[in-house]
């Protein structure tokens, strides 16, 4: 149970750092369209790096522990939030922005009172996507680092559970007599 909370803690810090960087950067990129394609492209390239490669890059710099795991997960959290912020703010109706300008709002007032509230559903979708992505797909990294630091060697936790789960899925889900297996068997 402790490992679950440690992973949740590491993931939430990474997402909060991603929000702190990606949301303002996404708003700035809507004002500089030429730089937007380059920066979002670079974030997309970073997203394709294997997580173990990012960890291997940061371990000599930051050491072993939670910090390199947070930094690696931070890089994975940036792209969905950045892309959705850019799309959400860029998708605000130009007539509404022109109306806000006609009411005498400054640039900051338009961002805070018009663009952000209208783009918030799209931004929140990016934050949700990033959070689910970090918690589900990157589950092994913090635990892997933690086990390496405590034991002095690198190994996966309880690989016997993984193979037992695969055997269980093979035997029960394909069994035509099981309730789950009946979904996949055609009645003739």
Residue 73 has pLDDT above 90, yes or no: no
Query: pLDDT tens, 161-172?
Result: 443 444 444 444
Is pLDDT at 157 greater than 60 in this prediction?
no
State both tokens at 143.
């635990």
Q: What is the average per-residue pLDDT within 118-144?
A: 78
- Say if pTM beats, i.e. exceeds, 0.95: no
Q: Beta-strand (E) ranges in the chain?
A: none
Distance between CA atoms of residues 160 and 158, nearest Å: 5
Euclidean distance between CA atoms 107 and 104, whole angstroms: 10
Torsion of CA 24, 29, 35, 39, to 10 degrees: 50
Spatial separation of the C-alpha atoms in residues 43 and 32, rounded to whole Å? 16
Q: Write down the mean pLDDT value for the chain.
A: 77
Cα→Cα distances 10→15, 98, 160, Å? 9, 42, 25
């Amino acid at each position: 149970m402790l490992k679950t909370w440690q992973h949740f803690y590491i993931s939430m810090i990474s997402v909060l750092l991603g929000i702190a960087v990606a949301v303002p950067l996404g708003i700035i990129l809507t004002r500089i369209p030429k730089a937007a394609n380059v920066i979002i492209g670079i974030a997309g390239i970073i997203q394709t790096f294997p997580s173990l490669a990012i960890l291997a890059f940061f371990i000599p710099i930051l050491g072993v522990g939670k910090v390199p795991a947070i930094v690696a997960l931070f890089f994975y959290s940036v792209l969905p939030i950045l892309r959705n912020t850019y799309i959400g703010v860029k998708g605000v109706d130009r007539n509404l922005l022109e109306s806000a300008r006609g009411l005498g709002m400054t640039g900051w007032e338009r961002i805070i009172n018009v663009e952000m509230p209208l783009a918030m559903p799209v931004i929140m979708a990016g934050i949700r996507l990033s959070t689910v992505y970090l918690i589900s797909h990157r589950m092994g990294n913090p635990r892997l680092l933690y086990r390496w630091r405590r034991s002095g060697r690198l190994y996966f936790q309880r690989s016997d559970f993984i193979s037992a789960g695969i055997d269980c899925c093979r035997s029960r889900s394909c069994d035509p007599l099981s309730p789950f297996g009946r979904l996949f068997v055609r009645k003739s």
